[in-house]
Amino acid sequence: MEETNRQRKIAGVLQKDLVDVLQKAAQEGMKGVIISVSKVHVTSDLGVAKVYLSVFPSAKREELIKGVQSNTALIRHEMAARTKHQLRRMPELLFFGDDTLDYIEEIDKSLKGEDVNPIKNPDVLPRRQKK
């Protein structure tokens, strides 16, 4: 199903404000970590917002995502205060890690020939799981 203009508009507002909130928290708590909100997807009933976070360095992604998930109530409260003139009801926030940068890096390594060649060694390919 296609996203409506309202969903896109709310996702844009949430993304812009979440960047401010999360980067301010990262400056105070974790030095040398860059957090970006890569995508926000709002459900059709505007009740849930799925937030995808990209973290650099990627080694700290899991730790940071768990920290953000444990502080979801505080983040949602801060977001509600920031968007009170734009939104009636603050959607529930669900945070996920975005591994797109890792995926791009793996493709780049493969193209440069730094990775193991799967044609010569098919054991490096992941096995497909039957459902």
Which pLDDT tens digit goes with each residue over 34-86?
Answer: 888 999 999 999 999 999 998 887 787 888 889 889 989 999 999 999 988 88
- Angle between helix 5-29 and 72-82 (nearest 10): 120
The CATH architecture that domain 5-117 belongs to is 2-Layer Sandwich (3.30)
pLDDT band at residue 128, thresholds of 50, 70 and 90?
low
Both tokens of 21, joined, read: 């909130």
Q: Cβ(75)–Cβ(35) under 8 Å? A: no
Segments making up each domain of the chain, as ranges: 5-117
Confirm if 18 and 39 have CB atoms less than 8 A apart. no
- Tell me the average pLDDT across 88-113: 84
- In 10 A of CB 100, how many CB atoms? 12
Rounded to whole angstroms, how far apart are CA atoms 23 and 15?
Answer: 12
CA 20/CA 129 separation, integer angstroms: 40
Indicate if the pLDDT at residue 108 is higher than 90: no
Determine the pLDDT at residue 16. Answer: 93
Are 22 and 35 spatial neighbours (Cβ–Cβ below 8 Å)? Answer: yes
- Higher pLDDT, residue 2 or 14: 14
User: Above 70 in pLDDT, residue 131?
Assistant: no
Where residue 90 falls among pLDDT bands split at 50, 70, 90? very high
Q: What is the pLDDT of residue 95?
A: 94
Phi, psi of 52 (to 5 degrees): -105, 120
Instruction: Please answer whether residues 37 and 79 qualify as being in contact, where contact means their C-beta atoms are separated by less than 8 angstroms.
Output: no
What is the value of pTM for the model shown?
0.76
